[in-house]
Amino acid sequence: MYKIRLLLLAIIAIYISACQVQTESLKIVPVNLREDSPVKLSEIAGEINKISLELTDESLIGTIMRVIYTGDYLIIYDSNGPKVLIFDSQGKFIRQIGRKGQGPGEYIIIGDIAFDCSENIIFISTSGNKILCYNIDGVFLHEYKIYPPEYIYFQDGYLCLLSTRYGIKSENGFLNQTMLYRMDKKCNPVDSFLVKSVLIDNPFVGSTFPRKDFVSQVSSQTFFYYPVLTPEPIVRDTLYELKGSDMIPFLKLRFSDEGATTGNNNKTKNLLNIWRSEKFVFANYQNRDGNFYFIHDLKTGRNANMKDGFIDDINQIQNRINIRPFNFNTEMFYYLHTNMKPDALEEPNPTLYIGELKK
């Protein structure tokens, strides 16, 4: 009996110790909403490469939703059209991938794009729950029927797809459920797991965010954040590390007005993105005062909260800028700015700026 009691005490001690380790490993970072302390790009980045995107009748760009940089090519998803355009690394226009239409290999709406750098294949998620595949020369290869695609990216040779089902009837209302699927290159599911399940009152309530930077690749680690923009009294504020089918809390943002809600019991802000590099964690949120960006230095512990973005003291851009990560290399980032000349007769394509974060 004494041995059994000792064994039970040992098991309890191990359990408590494991819980303490898991709790202590979750980094909690305060966000001061009343602060506006802009950060200069020179503080977080080195040299920035400036690429002027060639303007032709075919390459006119409206709103850029995703940029993929392969080293040799720039693959750009423009929601105006929509269309997918390829430029070389100097900004010279090469071709459009696919075209608008309802035939094989054609698209009406584009959700997202991804790139398999090992085989130079472009994946386009589109309406009708389809994934279209093209090679870098613009040749249509395959069309696959798949789950409703919201966000796609490549990791370790697999195509990963985020998909949300809206208005699933439950005992207490309706559920919006988001799943993450890992698929082979023929879009056959390999595994999947539940990312989020949100209880709502109205089956038709759903919201998405166009700037989808949900996955961060840092060396061999993968980090994930998925926003919930539907009305609810809490803010989903945690960046997770993905390990197989497990989501392990890595970092929580503690806002200075945490728990504050409106009269409708809705949250007072929307946290849109959290992503990280080796040295930094970035976040983007909106509240009644506007659009804000936050940065945390994982090595020094420094925090900065800023309205409207970073100061580009390297290229001397007057307006504040918003940097976005490349989804398979978050040590690199990009932003866009339209440089108008005083004597220009028409607005040029935006200039693309590509930089690398300090480590």
CB contact burial 186-206 (16+ within 10 A = b; e otherwise): ebeeeebeebbebebeeeebe
Tokens of 250: 């890595």
75/70 Cα distance (integer angstroms)? 8
At 11-31, the pLDDT tens digits run 333 333 334 334 447 999 999
Mean pLDDT on 2-18: 37
Residue 110 banded pLDDT, cuts 50, 70, 90 = very high
Alpha helices, H only, the chain: 2-25, 41-44
Question: Is the pLDDT at 121 greater than 80, yes or no?
Answer: yes
Task: Please calculate the CA angle 54-214-283 and round it to the nearest 5 degrees.
Answer: 90
| DSSP state letter for 213 | -
Arithmetic mean of pLDDT over the chain: 87
**DSSP 3-state of 5:** helix
264/260 Cα distance (integer angstroms)? 11
DSSP states of 68-101 as a string?
EE-SSEEEEEETTTTEEEEEETTS-EEEEESEES
Whats the size of the chain, residue-wise? 359
Of residues 240, 268, 267, 266, the one with CA closest to residue 253: 240
133/52 Cα distance (integer angstroms)? 28
Quickly name the fold that domain 39-357 has.
Neuraminidase (2.120.10)
At 300-329, the pLDDT tens digits run 999 999 999 999 999 999 999 999 999 888
Q: Domain boundaries in the chain?
A: 39-357
**DSSP 3-state of 248:** strand
The predicted model scores a pTM of: 0.87
Structure confidence at residue 344 (pLDDT):
67
Asked which of 12-26, 56-70, 174-188, 228-242 is least confident by mean pLDDT, the reply is: 12-26
Question: Is the pLDDT at 240 greater than 60, yes or no?
Answer: yes
Residue position matching structure tokens 């010279």: 92
218/116 Cα distance (integer angstroms)? 18
Helices and strands counted in the chain (H then E): 2, 27
